[in-house]
Copies of this chain bind each other. A is one copy, B any other.
Amino acid sequence: MINKKKFIAVIGGSEPSTKEAKLAEEVGRELARQGAILVCGGLGGVMEAACKGASSEGGVTIGILPGESRQSANPYVTIPIATGIGYARNVAVVKSAQAVIAIGGNYGTLSEISHALQSGIPVIGLNTWSLSKNSQPDNSIIPAQNSTEAVDKALNLVTD
């Protein structure tokens, strides 16, 4: 009865480059093909592109929205969650997933990467942030070269 499917978050900005939007759609499509459930912030840009890709393969897409209305979800979200808690919902996006794929993104995406790493949830990066502390690189974000590699790495890192 319990859901044994893998829950993977796709995070990224609401104004992605053409390349990033294409990557996000490919990632969404591949996740759905491999039977995973897509978790995202439910809005536009990378979130919408990933949901569109997943929907094209009949996948389930969860949109954890900042606002109070289910209506604010992009049209490819099948499970809208209206949290009403604004950017604090970034924590819920990553904690509801077993692995995270970050595509491009700005400071909101960086906050999600941070919350995921803080919780020990693996993060795969596609054209995204890199980190260093006191001039020492922090290699916690696992790089991927393309959408297939990102999805494979994410699915392989799901442990629970």
Q: Is the interface of A mostly helix, strand, loop or mixed?
A: mixed
Q: Is the CB of B96 within 8 A of A92?
A: no
Q: Is the CB of A55 within 8 A of B1?
A: yes
Chain B residues with Cβ below 8 Å from A153 are none
Chain B residues with Cβ below 8 Å from A22 are none
Q: Is the CB of A87 within 8 A of B82?
A: no
**Interface residue? A145 (CB, 8 A):** no
A118, chain B: closest CB distance, angstroms: 4
Q: Point out the residue from B82, B86, B107, B131 that lies within 8 Å of A68, measured CB to CB.
A: B86
Count of identical protomers in the assembly: 4
State A107–B79 Cα separation when bound (angstroms): 27
Q: Is the CB of A68 within 8 A of B129?
A: no
Q: Is the CB of A96 within 8 A of B70?
A: yes
Q: Point out the residue from B76, B91, B128 that lies within 8 Å of A84, measured CB to CB.
A: B91
State A58–B61 Cα separation when bound (angstroms): 19
Given A60-B79, A68-B87, 11 other A-B residues pairs in contact with their CB atoms under 8 A: A68-B95, A69-B95, A82-B92, A83-B95, A84-B87, A85-B85, A86-B91, A87-B118, A111-B118, A114-B114, A129-B133
- Residues in chain A within 8 A of chain B (CB atoms): 1-3, 7, 37, 55, 60, 62, 64, 68-71, 75-89, 91-92, 95-96, 98, 106-108, 110-111, 114-115, 117-119, 127-135, 160
